[in-house]
Amino acid sequence: MKTEKPTLLFDGECKFCNFWVGLIQKQKAQHKFNYYPLNSPEGKELLKSYKVDSSIDSIIVIANDKVFSKTGAGFKIARTLGGLWNLTLILWLIPRPIRNWFYDFLAKNRSKFFKNRENCEIHN
């Protein structure tokens, strides 16, 4: 399943993830991405098609037949959004293992920080 515009896969049950996807959509980027929850039929098909480990619990961006996850996905989103979002690219100077450690810490503890939702509120 190949797409022309980048595809953003996210945890549809996570309030924190839904917040960020909703914010991205409000940045005049609603039509810059395809949006699918990781556990949706489309999300599962994309994960399988691109041979992404199903245990990955991260935001994923698929663009130009490449898979980006964790902070790599965040940087791809920022580049796609452009404008002031490009300022976040300064964080690229932080070595990937350190960036991804912070990402993993936040992802692991997101349910402590944000109460999870029953259903995804983001629609493609």
- Is the pLDDT at 87 greater than 70? The verdict is yes
CA distance 122 to 124: 7
CA distance 44 to 122: 17
pLDDT band at 122 (very low <50, low <70, confident <90, very high): very low
Q: Which residues of the chain form beta strands (DSSP E)?
A: 7-10, 34-37, 60-63, 66-69
What's the whole-number mean pLDDT along residues 80-105? 84
pLDDT band at 116 (very low <50, low <70, confident <90, very high): low
CA distance 103 to 39: 20
What's the whole-number mean pLDDT along residues 84-97? 82
Strand, helix or coil at 61?
A: strand
| Encoded amino acid at 110, one letter | R
